[in-house]
Structure 1
């Protein structure tokens, strides 16, 4: 029962609940028996096919091995007593699978609900093989950073650090693997989700938080492996991808429209203490359209071998006062000028922080399994307690005491709600739940706490927090994603291009808004920013709903946008492009609210009849009327651009019209390939971009 991912060897299946959300057509599950098996149909579409050469369900007893180090996990399994039952019979309105004449698993249907149970004690690994048709393309999996189309690969669903490098063939990945399993691979992501969509315009969602694997390595079926004896699925079907994405966004919850301030200019990220305010003035003097100042170091810093880290003690106390004297007044001054102030928080508290004793005394931390002591996690040269969000009192305490009183009440308008993927599997939770089951739910609980704080101050739709971690259901609480900690380079699996793939994949499962650290974040082992990278990242960031810069983990070793007049002018120009597009982004926010459509869209979303578009992940539609093809290859001054559909596309910078097809487009720095529909209601706005530069 191989998952197709090196040491991970899983079986799967489990209780499946299938609920249809269908436009116009009322679909029902029904069984169609054949000579050696049966088909399970959803309307006229086969979703499950069982026959002797390929049983629909495989079962086993699991034997897992799980290791975690600083948010990086190594998970493997050695399943035993595997059963792939071929014999079946109709029983009580459903189906029983038999092995040696004994019932071992059961399938039952009721309306749109499908239920599969393992009937043998101790069998806690199930694999369900969903039907696949030749040439069928598959997407989903949450926020996938390396591949938009999932065909031919397996994707473990487990929120974790993505890794640095994420490519086992590179020296950087090998170094990071040797330094604490930190290199990662193509499937590692902060935000996995056990949901996949196919080009038959159906979607399957596993309604479970346990470890699972979406396995598309065999073209004959789509396998879902679940570490449980029971599994819940929901099935969706639609006439096309727009309707399908809309249905999924409705299921998981749609984000509020972004506020005008968040889309109306750049969020300037600076973390040099009080001097950040003076540096901001230089951005403004250079002509930057500034919407907010983001100072993640507002609560203090500590120096580590990884770089300058934040002091994880989220309150406006002595360290904050030393780093940012009279912060509340400084924030009020910015507000009077129409500039917001943003900060940072995460769901952990350092043992040497002022809040630690208060949190411990209130019973707000996860505990050790062998005592009532706080379970401490090494986050890289400092230890922290994990705030236990399974406890209602703790969720209320963190939302009110930390995010409310310490942040919102002093005028902070938003923050990076970092982490959420570190929950260890060897601790004790207040609600008694299994950490293996709770691990993937942790980002959703973290999002709920942040949303609760914002709502408590009546600021939903105004204050904005953004997250990198996620799982099924985070969409209903998190208003904005960011793509995580990309390396400061052009590498295939961890560089600038992964920002596009992450936004497109996350958008298909209900996340309307995504953005990135403009300039990249992770700088290790001599890997530092280049001027070319920073210029190209500005070009990419301007065409996301939110544009935000970051100084990275080693700011003193890297170029910053205020390092040279040329870089400052570059950032200022593209901030004005971003601000110029605000009326169009407001239109996209309306579409996200009404239909659940993401701002940045894969080409096939609007052109589903062209299979050649199914795997395109290095360019995107910005809404329906604009096409953006960022340059994400080092040294490139031109690139191939696919212009889909019928009707001409107009090149923004030259005004030249191009017919549909593939074209080689000049792309010098400062002119990334961007096109628009001349018949768009926003054509005049788009045409005005040339004047902004």
Structure 2
């Protein structure tokens, strides 16, 4: 990064790209103070800021690689910037500063991606994105009835920017990336033509920049910075992970599902710990011990499944219910976050209270990794689990490390991932055990082997349905998360919103072209259609699992490539076609590796799909064998069972891809 002093300020450039341009008339840095109001309700947040001061640090004095910023000549220096390598280090002599605004240079036709896992918009340009891990909300669209009802009943409606996994990193079509090294609340604002504005509710230690000659190299650099996942476990390639939470009956249902021809790699029973019933629906009993009453002889059942090459998966989160067996042990050892009176902080998770295990306490983190995950789960025979609720750290608790919980809230998902990864590593199971998370933040990539898209509504809605997991996979994939998947059929069923057979089938069609296929019964299983309750749905699902298994050689290669280069399995079209700018804003189709193009049907009732095919290639429709020239949109028939999928003519595995159409 090059710092240049100018007549009235300075500029910073990165491999020839100007990223900061500062003059007295057009300052790039603003500083000040604010007082925030943050209210949390079951993982949802109502956040408002009152800005007390916002001052342009218009006057810059440059000495060597250091920039001293003040509001005017002769005024006290309020912020010091130091350029080193590809980073900009920040120090505030004025300790009253708790708000910072940084403007980077923008171009009119620039595209911007990233921001963690963004579910509504892949291209972030033209919108504002607060970066705060939270529940995404139900519906996530203020114009819809379901979002309105969710807001009224539980402040849980959400908006387009709400996400379990934010990250203060963006990737520009100018082939550079910016990352803010902070855990504080931040905002990316891409609404102006001439500049992007980054708002941070703290003075970060540094702002990092990355540049490369092409997008693939840039993504690879980011994956090195944030961490890379190991290869997918070999057992995953056997088929779908079937999610059932029906107690001992789950095993009988699994037998019937397999008898219908479904390829199965795992049985996932999140209710292995037992259930409690609430107005939201059946909830798990948050005490991470196998429940003998609901699953008698479970250890033996797990061993029997393993003999048939089927793994067993469970569920865990970082909280312990007050009426469980682990709560007294953790409390006696001082492992919980505390309240203002120094007592165990209790959090209402919707009709039951829990303690928050304090992962800033090294002893507590080690205890959870060994006692809970190591002994109760790995030693018991589990090969994976959903590691849930990383976004729920309350902002009013006291933590062992003494840091304000508002600054630890965003960091919590990464600490939670590290606890899980430590437990897996302690048993020598890294690369074989598969846990998956919805919550994330900077650095989660180094610990979590698989993301899942969270709790989508059981519908085709634009901001909370099937389409959102495509955007989530693409945005998070650019930041070093190689593997992404979702609940087939969605999860959240409220206010009479229930699954249709069409939704289940369309979701399964997409999932066949993702790293992991996994079903979920949802929050209200008895109200919603399941894959084994409809003969047509089950037969369709069996065929999709056959396609997934058929592509095993290709997926293995993509997994090896991810481990070596950091490139995600699901990729935006521009990652391999960056000279075709028509691909830059596409978010409802993706490349599965370099050679397959997948455009899921994500609207109800549609049996055709319009697809843009990148220029410079010929693309073969797998169901008809017809080759299409790239650089244009084509419309293809896409009845149930034939999702719009194309392979690149001349690809190394052309014969394998052509075989999809015969299954």
| Aligned match of 1:314 | 288
C-alpha distance in structure 2 between counterparts of 1:238 and 1:637, whole Å: 41
Does residue 1:483 correspond to 2:453, yes or no? yes
Q: Kindly tell me the number of residue pairs found equivalent between the two proteins.
A: 660
C-alpha distance in structure 2 between counterparts of 1:77 and 1:330, whole Å: 53
User: In the alignment, which of 31, 34, 39 is matched to residue 67 of structure 1?
Assistant: 39
Deviates more, 1:104-113 or 1:459-468: 104-113
> Is the contact between residue 268 and residue 293 of structure 1 (CA under 8 Å) also seen in structure 2?
yes
User: In the alignment, which of 43, 50, 53 is matched to residue 22 of structure 2?
Assistant: 50
| Aligned match of 1:680 | 651
C-alpha distance in structure 2 between counterparts of 1:230 and 1:653, whole Å: 52
| Aligned match of 2:225 | 251
Does residue 1:286 correspond to 2:260, yes or no? yes
| Aligned match of 1:612 | 582
C-alpha distance in structure 1 between counterparts of 2:62 and 2:222, whole Å: 32
* Superposition TM-score, scaled by structure 2 size: 0.98
User: In the alignment, which of 538, 541, 558 is matched to residue 528 of structure 2?
Assistant: 558
Residue pairs, 1:507-656, within 5 angstroms? 507-656=477-626
C-alpha distance in structure 1 between counterparts of 2:617 and 2:589, whole Å: 19
Shift, 1:66, TM fit? 0.7
User: In the alignment, which of 104, 116, 121 is matched to residue 147 of structure 1?
Assistant: 121
Shift, 1:372, TM fit? 2.5
| Aligned match of 1:80 | 52
DSSP-derived class of the 2:309 partner: coil
Shift, 1:260, TM fit? 1.7
* Superposition TM-score, scaled by structure 1 size: 0.94
User: In the alignment, which of 440, 444, 458 is matched to residue 470 of structure 1?
Assistant: 440
Q: Which deviations, in whole Å up to 9, do the C-alpha atoms of 1:323-375 show, x marking residues without a partner? A: 00000000000011111111100001111111111111121111112x22110
DSSP-derived class of the 1:281 partner: helix
User: In the alignment, which of 78, 90, 93 is matched to residue 104 of structure 1?
Assistant: 78
C-alpha distance in structure 1 between counterparts of 2:268 and 2:40, whole Å: 31
User: In the alignment, which of 355, 359, 381 is matched to residue 330 of structure 2?
Assistant: 359
User: In the alignment, which of 241, 244, 249 is matched to residue 267 of structure 1?
Assistant: 241
Q: Which deviations, in whole Å up to 9, do the C-alpha atoms of 1:648-669 show, x marking residues without a partner? A: 1111111111111210111111
| Aligned match of 2:379 | 409
Where in structure 1 are there 5+ consecutive unaligned residues? 1-27
> Is the contact between residue 195 and residue 206 of structure 1 (CA under 8 Å) also seen in structure 2?
yes
Deviates more, 1:113-122 or 1:483-492: 113-122
C-alpha distance in structure 1 between counterparts of 2:65 and 2:218, whole Å: 30
| Aligned match of 1:223 | 197
Does residue 1:124 correspond to 2:98, yes or no? yes
> Is the contact between residue 9 and residue 61 of structure 2 (CA under 8 Å) also seen in structure 1?
no
Shift, 1:218, TM fit? 1.3
Deviates more, 1:616-625 or 1:105-114: 105-114
C-alpha distance in structure 2 between counterparts of 1:217 and 1:98, whole Å: 27
C-alpha distance in structure 1 between counterparts of 2:69 and 2:617, whole Å: 54
Deviates more, 1:223-232 or 1:89-98: 89-98
| Aligned match of 1:304 | 278
Deviates more, 1:381-390 or 1:230-239: 230-239
| Aligned match of 2:156 | 182
C-alpha distance in structure 2 between counterparts of 1:636 and 1:531, whole Å: 14
Shift, 1:91, TM fit? 3.8
Shift, 1:131, TM fit? 1.1
Q: Which deviations, in whole Å up to 9, do the C-alpha atoms of 1:547-601 show, x marking residues without a partner? A: 0000000000000001111111111111111111111000000110111000000
| Aligned match of 1:439 | 409
Shift, 1:97, TM fit? 2.2
| Aligned match of 1:277 | 251
> Is the contact between residue 359 and residue 416 of structure 2 (CA under 8 Å) also seen in structure 1?
yes
Q: Which deviations, in whole Å up to 9, do the C-alpha atoms of 1:269-318 show, x marking residues without a partner? A: 101000000000001100000001110000100111101111100012xx
User: In the alignment, which of 318, 321, 325 is matched to residue 296 of structure 2?
Assistant: 325
Q: Structure 1 93/560 Cα, relative in aligned 2: closer, same or farther at 3 Å? A: closer
C-alpha distance in structure 1 between counterparts of 2:108 and 2:237, whole Å: 42
> Is the contact between residue 320 and residue 354 of structure 2 (CA under 8 Å) also seen in structure 1?
yes
> Is the contact between residue 301 and residue 310 of structure 1 (CA under 8 Å) also seen in structure 2?
yes
C-alpha distance in structure 2 between counterparts of 1:181 and 1:421, whole Å: 16
Shift, 1:249, TM fit? 0.4
C-alpha distance in structure 1 between counterparts of 2:638 and 2:87, whole Å: 51
> Is the contact between residue 57 and residue 127 of structure 1 (CA under 8 Å) also seen in structure 2?
yes
C-alpha distance in structure 2 between counterparts of 1:123 and 1:209, whole Å: 16
DSSP-derived class of the 1:62 partner: strand
| Aligned match of 2:213 | 239
Deviates more, 1:444-453 or 1:106-115: 106-115
Q: Structure 1 607/92 Cα, relative in aligned 2: closer, same or farther at 3 Å? A: closer
Query: Structure 1 runs of 4+ off > 6 angstroms?
Result: none
| Aligned match of 1:13 | none
Does residue 1:345 correspond to 2:319, yes or no? no
RMSD over aligned Cα, in angstroms? 1.1
Does residue 1:29 correspond to 2:2, yes or no? yes
> Is the contact between residue 112 and residue 170 of structure 2 (CA under 8 Å) also seen in structure 1?
yes
C-alpha distance in structure 2 between counterparts of 1:347 and 1:531, whole Å: 34
Shift, 1:92, TM fit? 5.9
Shift, 1:138, TM fit? 0.5
DSSP-derived class of the 1:548 partner: coil
Where in structure 2 are there 5+ consecutive unaligned residues? none
DSSP-derived class of the 1:322 partner: coil
C-alpha distance in structure 2 between counterparts of 1:288 and 1:382, whole Å: 37
C-alpha distance in structure 2 between counterparts of 1:252 and 1:602, whole Å: 20
| Aligned match of 1:460 | 430
> Is the contact between residue 180 and residue 204 of structure 2 (CA under 8 Å) also seen in structure 1?
no
Shift, 1:70, TM fit? 0.4
C-alpha distance in structure 2 between counterparts of 1:231 and 1:169, whole Å: 39
| Aligned match of 1:206 | 180
C-alpha distance in structure 2 between counterparts of 1:264 and 1:253, whole Å: 27
Does residue 1:381 correspond to 2:354, yes or no? no
C-alpha distance in structure 1 between counterparts of 2:458 and 2:222, whole Å: 33
